[in-house]
Amino acid sequence: MSRIAVIGAGAWGTALANTYAANGHQIALWTIETDHAEEMRAERSNRRYLPDFPLEAGLVIAHEFADACRDAELVLIATPVAGLRPTLKRVAAEFPALPALWVCKGFEAGTGKLPHEVAAEFLAPAVGRGALTGPSFAQEVAAGLPCAITLASADIEFARYWAGQLMHPRLRLYANDDIVGAEIGGAVKNVLAIAAGISDGLGFGFNARAALLTRGLAEIARLSAALGGRRDTLMGLAGMGDLILTATGDLSRNRRVGLALAEGKQLPQILKELGHVAEGVLTTETVVKRATELGVDMPITWAVQEVLCGRLNPRDAVEQLMTREARLES
């Protein structure tokens, strides 16, 4: 069994921490807020982000960063993309030899970097690192329902080792050395889940959703190839699997954003009511920017960006997609 520091006590971080604590690992779950830590210790639950799931007796709740990471064999970073840079900077400064995994999905705002590109700024080349990604809702993992995900790292031996360490009967991990493809799949599927929510919210039916997801997957594959990722990765859990789940599952925050946009709600109101981060909203602009720079055609992603910015209403965005000139399927 391993000693693991989980940084970030949101829904996903808590679900993973509790799952691994139940499986015999020594887990410290860190939250930046003192009152949040005290609340979780007192109630033995994370009422804010993952209610109704009691915390394991052996799960340590930490507020001091050093207390969480001291003696750990791995740091599992479960912050949003915006929190990855400061967390990696702190890990590198205080625990420079500590291997890292992250579960956030998206591009960093401002720099346009993927998570592994951010990690390269702080972690020494010899330090193992990778992304834990794929079709996974925190609530279902916390409930002990079966789930399969990908652990992607440029270092395949690191990926294989930690996939073996972190796998148990209800949470299966597959190792993959295509971290670019895995991270592109995890980032862009959130954008396409917003599109699927819009389509479903407008009542366009299952045919439209199937077409949207198929053509959306083609967009993901084109961007991934332009950045050095492999097409076969997008046919697996980190691509197709994550896209299907996020675009069709009712627990998906990004899908719920699309449904609300179809109702005519304004984005600030939607995000306030959501109460959690919907990474697709933050990622769309960067995806469009990088695709444009690389000359990659991503019409669905572009349409989502136009809706989020208020330049197109949802129905007009769909009409523009449907009336594009005929072309070969590719």
Nearest to 84 by CA among 151, 183, 3: 183
Choose the catalytic residue: 189, 265, 272, 289: 189
- CB-CB contact of 73 with 99 (8 Å): yes
Structure tokens at 152: 């992607």
Nearest to 232 by CA among 284, 288, 174: 174
Query: CA-CA distance, 36 to 127, in Å (whole number)?
Result: 31
Query: Residue 93: how many CB atoms within 10 A of its CB?
Result: 9
Nearest to 46 by CA among 135, 38, 32: 38
Asked about 189 being catalytic, the answer comes back as: yes
Structure tokens at 286: 């960067």
Nearest to 130 by CA among 146, 114, 154, 110: 154
Q: Which residues are catalytic?
A: 189
